[in-house]
Structure 1
Amino acid sequence: METEAAASTPRVVTPRAWAGFEYSFPAIRGIQAGREYYVTMCPLRLIPKIFLFDDEDLTPELRAQRVLNKGRLPALAKYILDNPDDYVFSALTGSVDGDMKFDALDTDGVGFRTGQLRIPMGARFLINDGQHRRAAIELALRENPDLGEETIAVVFFHDAGLARSQQIFADLNRHAVRPARSIGVLYDHRDAEAQVARTIAGHSTIFKGYVEMEKSNLSARSRKMFTLSALYYGTQALLQGLQLKPDEATDLAQTYWETIDKVLPEWGMVRERQLSAAEMRRDYIHSHGIALHALGRIGNSLLRESTVASRWKKQLAPLEKVDWSRANSDWEGRAIVGGRVSKSHQNVTLTVNYLRHHLGLGLSPEERRVEDAYLRGEE
């Protein structure tokens, strides 16, 4: 029996013209928690037509899903459109408020689990998981209708009311854990800057053997100096807006980080086993992600302004005189907040500003705004 809340959820009024018509999907029948469910393949062109969203004006307790974050959709749709030959979307999960009928191929064995799933066109389809994928598919189809003949896996459950649909949403998202950014970089073969970061992490004499390739946080006893994600963001900042071929980008990034290595003696001390990686991370700022990101931004501005390679290399020399130790009170409020290194955008900018000052470089309008706000806070 439906709860009072479920009964108040808006239902789609189906015209009488749909009576007697039905969708038919090839499907596999399964059992979870004593309930039947079905796994099928659905053409992309049908996804926006059958799956409907709850009214966003409803209060959260009367909805079975979160409000759609429309800001995520352009990137998801672009992903499909830019990679028509190798995009991958995982299955959608939905509940069907209607009389689903499964026609098995046989009375037992494999044939009992496979067959045709028939759903009346007047049934209500509610998406429990994958609403952003569904909306992105709709956007992509507007630009490339040919995608409509492709398919996506869909898991159908019987709609047992609002409370059950809300529980499905909660259960599907309860244990979801976003993978560490480092392993995302490691496995991403579309991102050119990820390829650069992987290459120099595996082949550069500075980084080889000292980059954590899977985790985005280093344990206190780790022998690694950097994470792949930190190296990625630093290299991404370095190459931002530079129109380079892949090999040129890799060579430039490697040359830049080798130049930085010469003005940060502790990096070499770790490789020569005169200092442990754990001690360096504990006592110095320059092995943390915020420093690599800031150094990447510094390098980007020097590369844009310099036409001679030797010039930007010489301009980096004053970095050797920077006190990178965490004991340096100048880092408090810039790279360190409350005794902990902070990687927020504002703190990255304040660290960049500090390094620009030591290099005799001016600040951009945005950097000046952040710096003035910081200085006002100190008064």
Structure 2
Amino acid sequence: MADTFHYVFPAIRGIQAGREYYVSMCPLRLIPRIFLFDEEELTAELRAQRTLNKARVPEMARYMTDHRDSYVFSAITASVDADLVFEPEGGQEQNLGTLRIPMTGTFIINDGQHRRAAIEMALRQRPEMGHETIAVVFFSDIGLARSQQMFADLNRYAIRPSTSISILYDHRDDAAELTRRLVAEALPFRDLVETERNNLSLRSRRLFTFSAIYHATNALLSECEPEDMDAALTVARAFWETVASHLPEWEQVRRGRIASSEVRQDLIHSHGVVLHAFGKVGATLLREDPDGWRERLTVLAEIDWSRSNPVWAGRAVVRGKLSKATQNVTLTANYIKQQLGLALSAEDRRVEDSLHRNLHDAA
């Protein structure tokens, strides 16, 4: 018996691998109704997609509701266990028309289950968003035999963008804007910052990554509250230019006198863990010695920044490699603080004591 009731969508027909698929705009209010996602009701075969990470959903919903005028969600891709009927406008060769989907069909999301859950949560808070739309790509998949392979194929070549470029392109984050201006205006960073990648290749002429400067500057300003962006930029620029004045290799790389790869290979002071440590030390200096912090940084020129220096073992260097882990940033900052005559906090001391215990046990 033919199905009597259908969902009806205006749609565009396309072809991939010889099979028709359809793209439509679906009102947000319909998304939770037609795309059910109850893992307990799905058989193991249909749970080919990843398990829903419920911790991500509130953050995504807040993104929608907090940025009503600028949020962006990409299309949801779904398989439908039913015969889809496409009625072209003006003739069978036309690809613009109406898509009819039997209400008895089962919808399985191949890509976009977190978007679907976030939409449902956002609509509870802002039901007026229900009239807005999201693109949906429909595939007919009788028996849903291809749903697992579709999920695998859709995610096979998906690569998460680097932290550096994600921050660079984030115009809602004031700290990202500050870092963009800092990189453009502060002499130590000019022409030496990799903005697209989290790591520098051996052939790269850059000395720093954008993400490393971002995290380090956030740490620097974490304990002070400049009045505005310009004030924050003034503080950050003054700090990094003072640090650079005691690390001559940075300027030598900028002037092309030595290769950046040589500095990165032999010394540690341009790497993310040390930059972050500089930021933490700077925050303490700005708080405890707001008038004399510049003079105290002269000690940086006396520190042996060689990767081979045994003092960095277990601090910045772990099993021969630099580590950006939180405890390694703290341990690196601890050593710099001690050289500058700064007292360690209770948390700093706890991490420091743990290092000494580990070194003693290893011995």
* TM-score normalized with structure 2 length: 0.92
1:36 is matched with: 20
Task: Judge conservation of contact 1:56–1:67 (CA < 8 Å) in 2.
Answer: no
Task: Judge conservation of contact 1:54–1:64 (CA < 8 Å) in 2.
Answer: no
Match of 1:169 among 141, 151, 171: 151
Structure 1 position 210 matched with structure 2 position 203: no
Task: Judge conservation of contact 2:186–2:240 (CA < 8 Å) in 1.
Answer: no
1:285 is matched with: 268
Question: 234-243 or 186-195: which moved more?
Answer: 234-243
Task: Judge conservation of contact 2:164–2:210 (CA < 8 Å) in 1.
Answer: yes
Residues 259-305 of structure 1, C-alpha deviation per residue, up to 9 Å, x if partnerless?
A: 11122222223234443212111111111111111111222233344
Letter paired with 1:270: V
2:163 is matched with: 181
Distance change in 2, residues 1:304/1:78 (3 Å): farther
2:139 is matched with: 157
Unaligned runs of 5+ in 2: none
Question: 1:163 deviation in Å?
Answer: 4.2
SS at match of 1:161: helix
1:88 is matched with: 72
Letter paired with 1:267: W
Structure 1 position 77 matched with structure 2 position 61: yes
SS at match of 1:351: helix
Task: Judge conservation of contact 2:11–2:99 (CA < 8 Å) in 1.
Answer: yes
Match of 1:63 among 30, 37, 47: 47
SS at match of 2:146: helix
Task: Judge conservation of contact 1:94–1:154 (CA < 8 Å) in 2.
Answer: yes
In 2, Cα distance between equivalents of 1:293 and 1:337 = 16
1:99 is matched with: 83
In 1, Cα distance between equivalents of 2:287 and 2:89 = 67
SS at match of 1:300: helix
In 2, Cα distance between equivalents of 1:185 and 1:172 = 25
SS at match of 1:236: helix
Question: 186-195 or 165-174: which moved more?
Answer: 186-195
Question: 1:60 deviation in Å?
Answer: 5.9
Distance change in 2, residues 1:162/1:330 (3 Å): farther
Residues 32-57 of structure 1, C-alpha deviation per residue, up to 9 Å, x if partnerless?
A: 11211110001111111211225259
Structure 1 position 368 matched with structure 2 position 352: no
Question: 1:169 deviation in Å?
Answer: 0.6
1:243 is matched with: 225
Distance change in 2, residues 1:362/1:143 (3 Å): farther
Match of 1:268 among 245, 248, 251: 251
Distance change in 2, residues 1:62/1:146 (3 Å): closer
Task: Judge conservation of contact 1:180–1:214 (CA < 8 Å) in 2.
Answer: yes
Task: Judge conservation of contact 1:54–1:63 (CA < 8 Å) in 2.
Answer: no
Aligned positions, number: 357
Question: 1:85 deviation in Å?
Answer: 0.7
Letter paired with 2:165: I
SS at match of 1:103: strand
Distance change in 2, residues 1:241/1:359 (3 Å): closer
Taking only aligned residues, the RMSD between alpha carbons, in angstroms, comes to 2.1
Letter paired with 2:188: I
2:235 is matched with: 252
Question: 1:84 deviation in Å?
Answer: 0.9
Task: Judge conservation of contact 2:191–2:254 (CA < 8 Å) in 1.
Answer: no
1:352 is matched with: 333
| Sequence identity (%) | 57
Question: 1:241 deviation in Å?
Answer: 5.5
1:10 is matched with: none
